[in-house]
Structure 1
Amino acid sequence: MTTVPTKRLKEILNHFEGQEIIVVGDIMLDHFIKGTVSRISPEAPVPVVDVKKEFFVAGGAGNVAVNLAALGAKPVLVSVVGQDLGGEMLKGFLRDKKVNIYGVTEDPDRPTTQKIRVMAEQQQIVRFDRESKKTISPAVSSQCMKSFELAIKTAKGVILSDYGKGMLSDHNIKTIVDMCRKHKIPVCVDPKIDNFKKYKNITCMTPNTKEAWEGAGDSPKTGEEAIEKLGNKILKMLDADSILITRSADGMSLFEKGNEKPITIKATAREVYDVTGAGDTVISVFTLALAAGAKLPEAAVLANYAAGIVVEKSGTATATREEIEGVLK
């Protein structure tokens, strides 16, 4: 178990303001339709949803960028949308949240990724997906990477947010990691299992327990010894500086290069209401803390506090610096 003095954590938080962080990955428009159900349709054996509320939020890498903006950072988003209404709505939402979207490229050959969820009394009834999982075209990729090269000149950190929708090709991953190493800035990854082993030489990866077992190609096992072996295996496999495994009610385990024993961080949430987007919050706070001068364990402790705040909220939520400061002990 690790502890960091509250004074030090507040000091790091105070340096969040204005830090420029690049987020590269798959962005999506999350569309929620919420209502109540009191009858079955006479046309088919399906519930009739009486719609009471409808709203849109940024999902995927977009939610990571929104998290960063809520923390006082200056996020720069590098991604792709389609030339459609969904893309316009998504860009408008991100602008409103103070996310810099000059690196968001329009691709006329693919739709904006959308997840449309129909909910009744907190229960999801059905979800519609509009998406393409094809790797983005060389022309669009080149445009995105030009934006990245421009942004990295002033950035203090990079997040790769991989949802398997084609933005993070093998070439883009390697180019981004190499450039981060060259500029000596942290590069942290929220992985997609299919690409897990492609993220070599990174600063940190933040898988949850399920992702960690799947990414390592192992069947899940219980106990601290099993987690210890798992984390060290991934650390060596990726030649990473660190691995932060998020473990829900069991907190987090941080593995650092050169240390065989992980640092365990106890969960802080009083009540878990909704884990949606918690991983986005973890990687946002962790990377931002590193950019603000934190050491890896300090960044992990702050990220853990932020995750504890977010899981107590409903839906895809964010944590602010004021909220984090409020729960620091």
Structure 2
Amino acid sequence: MTLETLFEAFKQKKIIVLGDVMIDAYLSGKVDRVSPEAPVPIINFSKHEERLGGAANVALNLISLGAQVAMASVIGNDKNANALIQLFEEKSINTTGLIRSDDRETTVKTRVLGNYQQLLRIDQEQTDDINLEQEKQLLNQIESLLKQGYDALIFQDYNKGVLTESLIKQVIELTEKYDVITTVDPKLKNFLAYEGVTLFKPNLKELAEGVQMKIDFEKDRPQFNQAIKKLKKTLNPAIIFVTLSEHGVYIEDNKESQHIEAHARTISDVSGAGDTVISVATLCLVAGMKVSRLASMANLAGGIVCEYRGVVAIKADELFKEAKKLNV
């Protein structure tokens, strides 16, 4: 498969992203003095910005690569929910899978920046599990989307209560019914609930916590292999894909396993890199790319976004040019 064919294939794919969505808000300004009231900087406010965050950043990455995307989640019935939906609509992300509830608060993370440095973060959020009624409504919306012919569903967990253990299991059953690929970017809480998914993508820390082992990838490779074996036995995913930070990525299916080194880069910010990796991996998977090349492409994309400050989506043209140059 040529890169040209691959990137054209991305534009034909339809992906559902299921998980915790939020607004990343930024209040920024200039600091030139300290308050006389308390030993804190005074910010002369200049700008307020709101961006899609959490699982919604996965949707942004997919949109940036040309795919069609539907978002599925539970949010509040508040003014922040209105702002969130507007942000989705501006990016042409399908919001029919969003459930609004009077019992939930829409998550907003507000970062206060002075002279381009983060001074404070204020979180407005609700992290208890969604209730059975919200679960049922969300399942109905997901099934309605699956009936429309989607290629994959991404579980993107940020530990805010949308991905309950029972919801995960029921969604996996639905995706099996409609023959849809499933990929997962997990968190510890329901780490072992994803039995039988297509691709499971923890980072090294999540893998260690999930299988309850201490892992040093660099110094004790047999120990890492044992953790992979344990994960495989418990969840039986078709593909295990582990991100290893500065050590690159590791991927394994029933035919092969491979460790791919990270590319040398000037790292500015690792925030959101995992979102980019699961997005690219999912699109490559539904496009029919073999796992070793899939891992190389996702590894490359994750590295590219780390060169930018803040959470950014991968740009299709930038990924294409880098992949062409490196012969990925």
TM-score class, shorter: over 0.9
RMSD: 1.7
Deviation at 1:222, TM superposition (A): 4.2
Is the aligned partner of 1:248 residue 2:215?
no
Is the aligned partner of 1:162 residue 2:167?
no
Scaled by the length of structure 2, the TM-score of the pair is: 0.93
Is the aligned partner of 1:211 residue 2:194?
no
The structure whose RCO (Cα within 8 Å, separation 6+) is larger is 1
Q: Percent identity?
A: 36
Kept after mapping to 2: 8 A contact 1:269/1:309: no
Deviation at 1:36, TM superposition (A): 3.2
Bigger mean CA deviation after superposition, 29-38 or 53-62: 29-38
Q: Deviations 1:103-156 (Å, cap 9, x if unpaired)?
A: 111111111011111123443222111111122122222221111101112100
Equivalent residue letter for 1:74? Q
Equivalent residue letter for 1:322? D
Kept after mapping to 2: 8 A contact 1:19/1:288: yes
Bigger mean CA deviation after superposition, 126-135 or 294-303: 294-303
Alignment of 1:74-223 (within 5 A): 74-153=68-147, 154-223=149-218
Counterpart Cα distance in 2 of 1:222 and 1:32 = 36
Kept after mapping to 2: 8 A contact 1:189/1:205: yes
Equivalent residue letter for 1:207? P
Deviation at 1:193, TM superposition (A): 0.7
Deviation at 1:255, TM superposition (A): 2.1
Match of 1:273 in 2: 268
Aligned-partner SS, 1:117: strand
Scaled by the length of structure 1, the TM-score of the pair is: 0.92
Is the aligned partner of 1:228 residue 2:222?
no
Kept after mapping to 1: 8 A contact 2:204/2:243: yes
Is the aligned partner of 1:237 residue 2:231?
no
Counterpart Cα distance in 2 of 1:192 and 1:136 = 16
User: Alignment length, in residue pairs?
Assistant: 321
Moved over 3 A (4+): 7-10
Counterpart Cα distance in 2 of 1:269 and 1:103 = 39
Counterpart Cα distance in 1 of 2:278 and 2:107 = 22
